[in-house]
Amino acid sequence: MDQIKCITSRLLRAARHEAGVTLIETLFAIVIFGIVSTALIGVLTSATAADSRSRQKTIALELAQQQIEYIRQLNYGNVGLVDGNPGGVVQAVQSKEVTGLWYTLTTSITYVDDPTPGSYVTAANFKRIQVVITRASDGAEVARARTYVSSATPLETGGLNNGLINVTVQDFQTKALLGSVRVHLAKTWDAGFSASDYTGIDSGLPSFGVATFKGLEPTPTDPDPLGYYDITATLVGYTTLAADLPPSDSSATQSAGHIALEKSGTSNTTIYLYKPSGIIVHVIDGSNAPSLYTGSTTVTISSVKLGVSQQFTTTDGTVTLNPGDTLDGDPIAPGSDYQVDVATTTPYERHGLLTGLTVPSNYPTNLSSTFDVPLPDYVPPVTTPVTVTVRNGSWSSNGCTSSPKGSLQSGATVKLIVSDTPSTTYSPSSFGGGTYSFTGIPVDTYDISAKYSPDRWHTYQGTLAGQVISTTSNSFCVSIS
């Protein structure tokens, strides 16, 4: 019996020992399975991603090749970007969707200057086309393709008749070249033509501030109609100088923005842009400086260089033109030839004038300039009363001096007219019996006129010219006949 218990005890201990070994092995198996599974998942994920990239690249290459083939089928004259340089019918950017994914096609077309030895130099021998495909989701490039096309029909004399236009864009005030300016080219004789490009942005290259349009046909020379290339330039924050804009009349003579091109010719033109400026005028009361003059004043701002001038009226001593406001219909261009002329109105006149002004004074850091225009101290004008007698001398040689003198004429229209300023006139303050009285008349030289119309058939009139009115001589006689 004891022997059986002993054997049983040993078997139980062995069974317990075997159970412990099995649990450890199971844990090890789970760990190893996890490691292997993780590696397999990474391999499978990488394989799936690689397959996806491969499919995307294949699709992208097919899209690029389709775009290339589409361009190859076009007429050579249409091989160009819509509103591009060269101009044509191809869209620069397009979006395509394939199997649920969106792709962006970006096409660029440029002229190639690659003449064969001994041939004519045209700078536009053929065209280079490049198509870049990117994923719309992240902008990553997937594929690109490139090709070259030439005209199937040889151009006249190898293209020698074609020319080019170089457009340089500068700041009107600083004369600095401006990069990244959009330059647009149009034909006055062909409304369907349109080409655009941007001036170069690398200051180390000859293309900085310049846009070049190649392969252009010469402009028509037949007088009906003459042909021109119209050029416009746009840059955010800038305005084109009015003289450099294409004229509204397409037959106008050549100018910076209105270019004729000869056969195999090269035309160079410069377009000036500027940041619109502002002018603030303070009218200073000379008799109470530095206070602003609060009477009515006329402020004239003008530029001889630009041929613009405009008058403003103020009653608070300030005229403000902000950047972007116009002067005589045009934005205010920076320059050094502006002048400001200030004149008071009634009851007396005072003048202030500033010339040779730079607007603005520190362009382009600050686009507005303030100018203080002092008015002279007020000196009251010397005035005097004036008496004018009107006599009707129709029956004598002079109704004022002949004997007998002409009869006194009441009911006449009598005026004192300043001789050197005919627009300044004075009328009588009282009259009666042929005598006309004036009060408060400034000392000056006057033309004295009188006119009497008793009916629609008769008019009697007379004038005394160049009469000096002073405080000691203020009585006059006018004979009308």
CA distance 268 to 277: 28
257 and 245 part of one domain: yes
Q: From the centroid of its chain, how far is CA 211? A: 18
262 and 219 part of one domain: yes
CA-nearest of 272, 178, 181 to 234 is 181
Q: How confident is the model at residue 11 (pLDDT cuts 50, 70, 90)?
A: very low
On whether residue 464 sits in a domain, the answer given is yes
| 8 Å CB contact between 96 and 143 | no
Average pLDDT over residues 215-239: 88
Tokens at 192, concatenated: 């369907």
Residue, of 2 and 85, whose pLDDT is higher: 85
On whether residue 144 sits in a domain, the answer given is no
Evaluate if residue 289 carries a pLDDT over 60.
Answer: yes
On whether residue 66 sits in a domain, the answer given is no
187 and 270 part of one domain: yes
Q: How confident is the model at residue 9 (pLDDT cuts 50, 70, 90)?
A: low
Helices (H), 205-268: none
Final residue belonging to a domain, choices 274, 307, 333: 274
Q: From the centroid of its chain, how far is CA 387? A: 60
**Contacts of 182 by beta carbon, 8 Å cutoff, 6+ apart:** 196, 197, 198, 233, 234, 235
475 and 406 part of one domain: yes
CA distance 304 to 207: 34
Strand partners, 300: 311, 341
What is the full DSSP assignment across 334-387? -EEEEEEEEEE-TT---EEEEEEEEESTTTTT--EEEEEEEPPPP-PPPEEEEE
User: What domain range includes position 225?
Assistant: 161-274
Q: What is the pLDDT of residue 292?
A: 92
350 and 390 part of one domain: no
182 and 207 part of one domain: yes
CA-nearest of 48, 52, 47, 45 to 142 is 52
Distances (CA, A) of 201 to 109, 164, 178, 268: 19, 20, 8, 19
Average pLDDT over residues 382-402: 84
241 and 340 part of one domain: no
Average pLDDT over residues 130-153: 88
Judged on CB neighbours under 10 Å (0-12, 13-18, 19+), 212 is buried
Final residue belonging to a domain, choices 374, 401, 426: 374
Q: What is the maximum span of the chain, computed from C-alpha positions, in angstroms?
A: 190
On whether residue 365 sits in a domain, the answer given is yes
331 and 289 part of one domain: yes
338 and 403 part of one domain: no
CA distance 14 to 20: 10
Average pLDDT over residues 350-375: 88
165 and 262 part of one domain: yes
For the domain that residue 389 is a member of, what is the CATH number?
2.60.40.10
Residue, of 287 and 408, whose pLDDT is higher: 408
| 8 Å CB contact between 425 and 448 | no
For the domain that residue 308 is a member of, what is the CATH number?
2.60.40.1120
Final residue belonging to a domain, choices 220, 248, 274: 274
Q: What is the pLDDT of residue 39?
A: 59
CA distance 295 to 302: 22
Helix (H, G, I), strand (E, B) or coil at 6: helix
CA distance 264 to 441: 74
Helix, strand, coil share of the chain (percent; to 5): 15, 45, 40
Q: What is the pLDDT of residue 225?
A: 72
264 and 286 part of one domain: no
On whether residue 19 sits in a domain, the answer given is no
CA distance 243 to 117: 43
Helix (H, G, I), strand (E, B) or coil at 166: strand
Average pLDDT over residues 172-201: 93
Q: What is the pLDDT of residue 36?
A: 62
Helix (H, G, I), strand (E, B) or coil at 48: helix
Q: How confident is the model at residue 290 (pLDDT cuts 50, 70, 90)?
A: confident
* 22: alpha, beta or left? (left if phi > 0; alpha if psi -120 to 50): alpha
Q: What is the pLDDT of residue 207?
A: 92
Q: How confident is the model at residue 50 (pLDDT cuts 50, 70, 90)?
A: low
On whether residue 320 sits in a domain, the answer given is yes
- Run of H or E residues at 94: strand 93-98
CA distance 80 to 68: 12
pTM over 0.85: no
On whether residue 3 sits in a domain, the answer given is no
Strand partners, 142: none
244-284 pLDDT, tens digit each = 999 987 767 889 999 999 988 899 999 999 999 999 999 99
Q: How confident is the model at residue 412 (pLDDT cuts 50, 70, 90)?
A: very high
CA distance 220 to 250: 13
Tokens at 373, concatenated: 């225009």
429-463 pLDDT, tens digit each = 999 899 999 998 988 999 999 999 988 888 999 99
| 8 Å CB contact between 464 and 447 | yes
CA distance 286 to 284: 6
Per the structure, the count of domains in the chain is 3
Q: What is the pLDDT of residue 13?
A: 56
Q: How confident is the model at residue 54 (pLDDT cuts 50, 70, 90)?
A: confident
Q: What is the pLDDT of residue 361?
A: 81
Average pLDDT over residues 397-415: 86
Average pLDDT over residues 100-129: 84
259 and 350 part of one domain: no
CA distance 245 to 330: 12
On whether residue 103 sits in a domain, the answer given is no
